[in-house]
Chain A
Amino acid sequence: MAMTDPHHDHDETQRREHGAPLSDTELRVKALESLLVDKGLVDRVALDRLIDTYETKIGPRNGARVVARAWADLEYKKRLLENATAAIAELGFTGRQGEDMVVLENTPKVHNLVVCTLCSCYPWPVLGLPPVWYKSAPYRSRAVIDPRGVLRELGLDLPDDVEIRVWDSTAEVRYLVLPERPEGTEAMSEEELAALVTRDTMIGVARVEAPRR
């Protein structure tokens, strides 16, 4: 793991160059970190390791591998829909904020969309940490009352005859959408399929695009 010096970060360097002071929030974080380190309650190297894990190791490429496997292997897909936690663990993705998983299959007539209106629950082992829009008030407030409007804002216009199922993650179950496999991908390898799958298609705010020929 790369050791990073917490006192030498990009934001701070930029600001020093421009002569701007640190914000209240930055000062508060620095104060708290130095206090916790001095009290022996946190270890800076462990903090670096946590950050590095979510910046470089755990992210939506994990979920894309799950989706590609399900598209390529119907037996796997069956296991995934029956017991998502175990099937996802087969690929090595387990743990924090993904302890109990459910996978939701999109079909031509049913579109699934995931939100957490109360905080920002999100399946970390397969998608990493959530994007800002997922955590923000506009999405959290309106995904349940106006899913079609929210999807349009995010670039997905669904016909009226498609049923939208919004899943509000109010408990400790975490949801992953299994998007529809696009046409024209029959000859693709699992790896090529995984490359088509984006984070947003696994939250349910986008469809997987067919590959360009």
Chain B
Amino acid sequence: MNGIHDLGGMHGMGPAVREENEPVFHHEWERRAFAMTLAAGSLGKWNLDMSRYAREQMPPAEYLSTSYYEHWLYGLGRLLVEHGLVTREEIEARLAGKTGGQVRAQRAPEGIRVLRAADVDELLRRGGSARVAEDIRPRFKPGDRVVAREIHPVGHTRLPRYVRGRHGAIDRDHGVFVFPDAHAMGQGRKPQHCYSVRFAARELWGSDASPRDAVYVDLWDDYLDPA
């Protein structure tokens, strides 16, 4: 979707400002929102691409006026409701100070494996690679000239607006990966090659840009045509 999250190339957002000796979290609620997102994600009801897509659907004005973990919180609430783990009414009842009719200390629904403290280290150490061990032929090889497709999917995509229709060259082939546009929409993995594509700064931003500089963007086969 052509959403507000696709920020590359915009002006007017103000200067980048570093906070010296920045803590990992600034508020207790950030800690809890972060950890709840990881723990709920480990239930296996949705994938990372669905998580990103959920955050991208935050209303644009709200997205720009809230912080990173507020985006996460929005996405988490949305996913929990969409996947039937909680209802909006239950959340609102809690906010109103009621238990919403819930019996305390319920057991998780059948077939759901809840993340326990003893499993946290292994979960993080293992991670979950989006690489797919399938022998799929690459459409391009390093050095090939390509053009990013001028497409505007209404669902999730990782093709930023600022490269659409622009020419570049394959820098390297990362291998076969899950295709997020399909994966986020519950349409399977659609595995294909993902490449780092080099775009000259002047190709993207015109003659005022540096003649030397370049932007490298990771793009899948389905985002590219031969140039």
Contacts and interface: CB of A to CB of B under 8 A. Distances in A.
A49 B39 CA distance: 11
Contact of A170 (B7, B102, B116, B158): B158
B194 A137 contact: no
Nearest to B194: A171
B102 A28 contact: no
B86 A36 contact: yes
A28 B73 contact: yes
Contact of A133 (B10, B16, B115, B196): B16
Nearest to A23: B29
Contact of A142 (B13, B17, B22): B13
Contact of B28 (A10, A95, A138): A10
A26 B15 contact: no
Contact of B7 (A40, A141, A167): A141
Interface in B66-85: 67-68, 70, 73, 76-77, 80, 85
Contacts of B10: 137, 141-142
B35 interface: yes
Nearest to B90: A35
B16 A154 contact: yes
Interface stretch (A61-69, A70-78, A117-125, A179-187): A117-125
A41 B115 CA distance: 8
B8 A117 contact: yes
Contact of B218 (A131, A138, A169): A169
Contact of B120 (A53, A139, A155): A53
Interface residues of B, number: 96
B127 A200 contact: no
A99 B129 contact: yes
Contacts of B217: 168, 170
A144 B127 contact: no
A166 B214 contact: yes
B84 to A, nearest CB: 11
B55 A97 contact: no
Given A11-B28, A43-B117, A31 B94 contact: yes
Contacts of B36: 29, 32-33, 36, 42, 47
A119 B86 contact: no
Interface string A118-161: 11100001001101110111111111110110100111000011
A51 B194 CA distance: 32
Interface residues of A, number: 88
Contact of A172 (B39, B43, B94, B130): B130
Contacts of B205: 145
A1 interface: yes
Given A25-B29, A144-B204, A51 B34 contact: yes
B114 A41 contact: yes
A198 B51 CA distance: 30
B106 interface: yes
Contacts of A99: 127-131
Given A25-B70, A128-B24, A163-B214, A54 B34 contact: yes
A170 B160 contact: yes
B117 A131 contact: no
A173 B214 contact: no
B61 interface: no
Interface in B187-205: 194, 196, 204-205
Interface of A: 1, 6, 9-12, 23, 25-36, 38-43, 45-51, 53-55, 58-59, 94-100, 102, 117-120, 125, 128-129, 131-133, 135-145, 147-148, 150, 153-155, 160-173, 200, 205
Given A97-B127, A153-B16, A205-B18, 10 more contacts: A29-B32, A32-B76, A38-B99, A95-B127, A100-B174, A128-B24, A141-B7, A145-B9, A148-B210, A167-B196
7 contacts: A26-B29, A32-B94, A55-B31, A131-B22, A143-B8, A164-B210, A167-B216
| 10 nearest A-B pairs in the assembled complex, by CB-CB distance | A117-B8, A171-B218, A31-B94, A9-B28, A95-B127, A99-B129, A47-B35, A172-B130, A137-B13, A141-B10
